[in-house]
Amino acid sequence: MINTSHEKAMRNRVKERLKGGETALGVWISILNPQAVRIVANSGIDWILFDTEHGPPSLETVDGLVRASMGCKALPLVRVVWNDMNAIKLALDTGAYGVIIPWVNTGEEAERAVSYCRYPPEGVRGCAPGRPASVWGLREEEYLEVVNEEILVAVQIETRKAVENIEEIVAVEGVDATFIGPMDLSMSMGYRGKPFHPEVVKAMERVLDSCIASGVAPGIAFARGVEHINELIEKGFRFIGIGSDSGLLATGCSETLKKIRR
């Protein structure tokens, strides 16, 4: 029997953590290998992110790697190429547990983003649940019963306009998290190549405050390093990218060699 109770345990552990005010840390996947993905996804991290906006993977590759990550501790998310119904539909049909949606600048755009992630009558997502249901380990009817509540919807805040409209963006029902893009935001504000310029940081703090006031999880794509990540957590950021798999691999090798050769 399908459990329709709102008391059921959430399947999306990342969304559950964020709704509970906890921190969910993630890694960007650039090594498109199933074994590498599983190693990262079982490292203790909360989520892994496949980037189809700026990253190299095709949807076919993402589809296989999402399946490869099933049963791991971290949940797979996809950053789509644009706030586009077809791009979001295809990403979610891989079985991903959520999407990060670029270039959301207004409340209206946020409403569209949410609608693209939900099946009717709450949204306009095209209904072909067989493949994602199988990835989740559910029957189709079970998947349809829970998925509108379980998909994580994160909107990227990466322009001056988005910051100016942040209060209306985070007021949209169904927006679970924001995800500041420091590089694009700094470009939009006229500080190219300075993602943590004081004026950009000030804009980020406005986003942070608005998120906290509205109950939306404040997120950011990356930080300057481990100490900066801890500073961001202290400030109240909850949905944070800690780096890429390739970057962490290089850092791990470098730090190990330093200890050996000191």
Q: Which residues does the annotation mark as catalytic?
A: 54
Judge residue 69's burial from the number of C-beta atoms within 10 Å of its C-beta, 0-12 exposed, 13-18 middle, 19 or more buried. Answer: buried
Tell me how far apart the alpha carbons of residues 138 and 82 are, in angstroms, rounded to a whole number: 28
Residues whose CB falls within 8 Å of the CB of residue 228, separated by 6 or more in sequence, listed in order: none
Place of tokens 């703090």: 205
Backbone angles phi, psi at 115, to 5 degrees: -65, -35
Whether the Cβ atoms of residue 219 and residue 178 lie closer than 8 Å to each other: yes
SS3 for 152? strand
SS3 for 36? helix
